[in-house]
Chain A
Amino acid sequence: MAREVRLSEVAFDPAALTAAFAAAHPGHGALASFVGQVRGDDAVKALELSHYGPLTLAGMEALADQALARFDLLGLLIVHRVGEMRPGESIVLVAAAARHRRAAIEAVDYAMDHLKSDAWFWKRERRGGEWRWIEPRAEDHADLARWR
């Protein structure tokens, strides 16, 4: 399992998926992972991620291939939720297995920076009964530019 990339229409368990990913790479040496969740510390009642079938998964697969080419990895897992979710639910999981820590950590960072502002997703949040579209912040674009 060098590369696993998924869109999930339903809630997923990042701990279980990460454990399975780790088990699939015995003796990996290093495993880094990131889980993004819907924040529950403000007035956001719901978050919705939409995607476009012909582009989104293919784009994520291309991103995973770029990360595998760039970093010395044994495996890479990317799971991204779509649909409507509530505070505390997981939006995204990226896990990378490698022989050494730097490659694993950097691959996760690289994948997340691209998923935030260079992947085919559109995000909106509901506060006080109103839906509002979210666009990447300037720092998201700066994060992405670090890899160019």
Chain B
Amino acid sequence: MPVKLVFLGKLADLAGVPTLDVAAPLDWAGLIAALPGPLGEAVQGDRVKLAVGGTVLADKTALDALDGNEVALLPPVSGG
């Protein structure tokens, strides 16, 4: 099974799709390689967080996603 990337907020606009399957396993370097251009640059920004399987990573560069994991790419939030 691949790793499923889920793009939230403006990252979905940059990606042009809400989700993208990429080969497992997936580390930080692999993620950036899979997201070229403005999307990759945005994901590297300080304010973008990653969650794997519903748990937000304290250090996104420690990404280590396995077969079947869902990786959410979370830009700055805005609610209310």
Contact = CB atoms under 8 A, between A and B. Distances in A.
Interface residues of B, number: 18
Contacts, number: 65
A123 B79 contact: yes
B72 interface: yes
A54 B78 contact: no
A54 B70 contact: yes
The interface residues of chain B, by DSSP majority, are classed as loop
A119 B78 CA distance: 7
B45 interface: no
Contacts of B78: 116-117, 121-123, 133-136
Interface string B36-80: 000000000000000101101000000000000010101111111
B15 interface: no
A138 B57 CA distance: 25
Q: Which of A117, A122, A123, A134 has the most CB of B within 10 A?
A: A122
B10 A120 contact: no
Nearest to B72: A52
Q: Which of B9, B53, B70, B79 has the most CB of A within 10 A?
A: B79
Interface residues of A, number: 25
Contacts of A54: 51, 53-54, 70, 72
A121 B72 contact: no
Interface string B10-23: 10010000000000
Interface in B1-32: 6, 8-10, 13
A133 B72 contact: no
A36 B80 contact: yes
Given A52-B74, A119-B79, 9 more contacts: A50-B9, A52-B51, A54-B54, A54-B70, A112-B80, A116-B78, A117-B79, A122-B77, A124-B10
Interface of B: 6, 8-10, 13, 51, 53-54, 56, 70, 72, 74-80
